[in-house]
Chains A and B, each alone.
Chain A
Amino acid sequence: MSTLTRPAVHRRSNTDRLRQGLANGKFTAVLILLPPALILFSLFVILPLADAAYYSAFSWNGYGTPTNFVGTQNYERLLDHSVFHTALWNTAKLILVSLLLQMPLALGLALLVYRKTPTNTLFRLVFFLPYILAEVAAGLIWSFVFDGDYGITAFMFQALGQESVYVLADRQWAFPAIMTVIVWKYFGFHMMIYIAALQSVPKDLIEAAKLEGAKPRQVALFVQIPLIKHAIVVSGFFAIIGSLQIFDIIIPMTNGGPSNSTHTIVTYLYTFGLSRLNIGFGSAAAVVLFVLAIGIALFYQRATAKEERT
């Protein structure tokens, strides 16, 4: 945005820029402010990353120092592992569900409740409540809901005179059940982002559209949604990164089961890397996750930035 508003400047050489930077004190600011951030960043982000990359070349159980160098074997095993494929596919499903189901749902609800009225406040609170709940607690609660003996599901099936279904023990239904919970858990968060953005849309624009005879649906489609595009881009980014990180809902619900069919990349990493003490293997999975996350983030940024410019 800022690059657009600034008047066009003719290209200057780097040395010119440096000289000017030194003169106006920018350089001193950088010199003072950068090191603490850089030290913290290297210590807590770069160093562990480098460590993980290093360990991923070893077959190592976490005891002592890694000595058994195996090269790329961990990566080969990872890419061969059918459970890892399942985990990748599940993560992709989560991203798709977040983008195609959760975000439209959140947007629709936001359009319904963004105006400041007491009833709307109540609705917003209700929709936002799942997000406040701790992930582990949400997972536990839903594992009771889906319970085939005592859960609401069991009750419903019994009421219909049907044999009870054990949703979380069923390979077909376990992951859709998890996706439902994730949509339920996070749509409120995205809704809040949209509400904040919708409230900043100038009222006169909406009035003008209405005077021109636009129906509420058209107002939403042609005035409000285009104007909150930046919020949608941000919420899409959160949805993708969040999907890549899903872990603490799945562990209490299915622990990756039945038959390792509900793993995401992170639960895979935890189960096959950490809790089985294959630190080298887990590090390889972590490196793959990191590369994926960076790749997707860059791709997303490029794609959305391009759109913004046009």
Chain B
Amino acid sequence: MSKQRASQPARGKRWLAAALAVSSGLAAFVAAADTTVRVLRVEISDVEKQYYADVVAEYEAQNPGVNVVFEYIANEAYKTRLPTLLQSNQRPDIFYSWGGEGLRDQVEAGFVRDLTEEMQDGWQDLYPESAVRAFTLDDRVYGAPLYATVVGFWANTALTEQAGVDIDAIETWEDLQQAVTTLRESGITPAVVGGQDGWPMHFYWGYLATRLAGGEGIEAAKQGENGGFEGEPFVRAGELLQAFVELNPFQSGFMATSYERASAMFGDGEAALHLMGDWDYIPSKERSMTGEGVPDEDLEFIRFPRVDDGAGNDDSFGGMNGFAVTRDASDEAVDFLRFLLNEENQREAARLGIFVPVAHGSEEELDTPYARKVAQILSESNFHQVFLDQALGTSVGATVNDISGDLAQGEITPEEAAAQVEEAWMFR
């Protein structure tokens, strides 16, 4: 094509001019976009994708030399592909992280850039200490927080009122057990749980262990103090869980129910309670048959109850998710991350309601009462314990999920459960 056109004298000049323009334009482009920052994120909603696209557009406008690209991988695939990706030359500059032992593995293998100095330079003051701590290993900071999630009981107040249960009065574990009994007597399924997936059941054992040992007690157990994970609080967590299951709190066949199904069942009003993260608000509605879920006026999000003599009664349990930077990423990558997680962008995320951001003050922008409740729980929290199945690393975490299901089915004793976790921790 181009050869033919060039041979035509009338069009020759125009073609030449066009070619010149294109090549000079290309040169300008190459010179300008000399740095590309690749960000790897777990697959998310379109709203959140749009949010990142807007942040990137703004950043690129302010920094003409930088080109930011977001890539998304589905959740489970992300976890299994990340180790391989980090070791290849396809490694991203910034990657999504859950902190905890998973991050430690990556740090110890030398894949993560130390952000301590940048963070001390005013950056970390934006966030509460507990958020930064999730990415701190041996006093060095290896990541920055994006948002926090909190686990609590989603409650359908239409059903609880029908049974005569005052949901706001559930303060202690005994109160919860009482409520479960009352609900059962009224012919209402007290709670749904996605037992097949493992992790939803781990919320019970994990939260009970957090209540009993406290975030600091769990840290101590990691060091092998007080009997490690075979210590008293972890055994008692199993006992409490088994005593709870004896009240028949869950839907029938709960070990064959996936999280998605449980979430839909709650949305359909088939049970009064669902112990789940705050993120389930929209999914539960979307998965329900009507698509509306439990109407907002009948919906409440309550704190996990306190436990007698619990060292962690003021702690919260959930996720602390953020980003880490790979070792040989450019300084521009760090600069972009700092921009992405700055107060203004965090406030914007809160305004859009896509998650509960962690930066101080961003909770003011939160729209739903549930999100505000989460922010309140977080701000009052002594210690934000990251999900045990993530905080203890992939292998130990899976064991925690296993024993939670086994305990609920009465397959193992609380002592055996605790011993299995300790063994997995020793062999991690």
Residues of A within 8 A of B (CB): 59, 61-64, 77, 147-149, 163-164, 166, 168-169, 171, 255, 257-260, 271, 274-278
Contacts and interface: CB of A to CB of B under 8 A. Distances in A.
B394 A276 contact: yes
Contacts of A148: 252-253, 256
Main secondary structure of the interface of A (DSSP, over half): loop
Contacts of A275: 80, 394, 398
A169 B109 contact: no
A259 B196 contact: no
B402 A259 contact: yes
B109 A63 contact: yes
Given A62-B83, A63-B83, A63-B109, A259 B253 contact: no
B240 interface: no
Interface string B53-85: 000000000000000000000000000100110
B80 A259 contact: no
A277 B252 contact: no
B255 A64 contact: no
A257 B427 contact: no
A275 B81 CA distance: 10
B252 A164 contact: yes
A166 B253 contact: yes
Contact of B256 (A62, A169, A274, A278): A169
Nearest to A74: B427
Interface string B396-416: 001000100110010100000
Size category of the binding interface on chain B: 20 to 34
A63 B105 contact: yes
Contacts of A274: 80
Given A63-B87, A275-B80, A259 B256 contact: no
A147 B196 CA distance: 12
B395 A63 contact: no
Contact of B196 (A59, A63, A169, A260): A169
16 contacts: A59-B427, A61-B83, A63-B87, A148-B256, A149-B253, A164-B253, A169-B255, A257-B255, A259-B402, A274-B80, A275-B80, A276-B394, A276-B395, A277-B83, A277-B394, A278-B395
B110 interface: yes
Contacts of B110: 64
Contact of A169 (B84, B195, B198, B402): B195
Contact of A258 (B109, B255, B395): B255
A149 B394 CA distance: 32
Interface in B89-131: 105-106, 108-111
Contact of A277 (B87, B255, B395): B395
Given A77-B427, A275-B80, 8 more contacts: A61-B83, A164-B252, A166-B252, A169-B254, A257-B198, A258-B196, A258-B405, A259-B411
B212 interface: no
Contacts of A259: 402, 405-406, 409, 411
Contacts of B87: 63-64
B180 interface: no
A171 B406 CA distance: 11
Contacts of A257: 196, 198, 255, 405
Interface in B224-275: 252-256
Interface in B409-428: 409, 411, 427
B86 interface: yes
A255 B395 contact: no
A163 B252 CA distance: 10
A274 B77 CA distance: 12
Nearest to B403: A259
A305 B252 CA distance: 53
Contacts of B105: 61, 63, 277
B111 A63 contact: yes
A64 B427 CA distance: 18
A260 B395 CA distance: 15
A278 B428 CA distance: 8
A207 B394 CA distance: 66
B145 to A, nearest CB: 23
Contacts of A163: 252
A271 B76 CA distance: 13
B396 to A, nearest CB: 9
A275 B84 CA distance: 13
Contacts of A258: 195-196, 255-256, 405, 409
B403 to A, nearest CB: 9
A169 B398 contact: no
Nearest to A255: B196
Nearest to B76: A275
The 8 closest A-B pairs by CB, nearest first: A166-B253, A63-B109, A169-B256, A64-B109, A169-B255, A276-B395, A148-B253, A62-B83
A212 to B, nearest CB: 57
Contacts of A260: 402
Nearest to A256: B402
Given A164-B253, A166-B253, A258-B405, A276 B427 contact: no
A215 to B, nearest CB: 48
Contacts of A271: 398
A260 B402 CA distance: 8
A308 B82 CA distance: 52
A78 to B, nearest CB: 11
A168 B427 contact: no
Contact of B106 (A63, A169, A276, A278): A63
Nearest to B256: A169
Contacts of B402: 259-260
Contact of A276 (B84, B108, B255, B398): B398
B22 to A, nearest CB: 44
Contacts of B83: 61-63, 277
Nearest to B253: A166
B300 to A, nearest CB: 26
B253 A169 contact: yes
A59 B108 CA distance: 14
A171 B411 CA distance: 10
Contacts of B109: 63-64
A59 B84 CA distance: 17
Contacts of B394: 61, 275-277
Contacts of A168: 256
B409 to A, nearest CB: 6
A110 B130 CA distance: 68
Nearest to A77: B427
A66 to B, nearest CB: 11
A61 B428 CA distance: 8
Nearest to B80: A275
B194 to A, nearest CB: 12
A63 B86 contact: yes
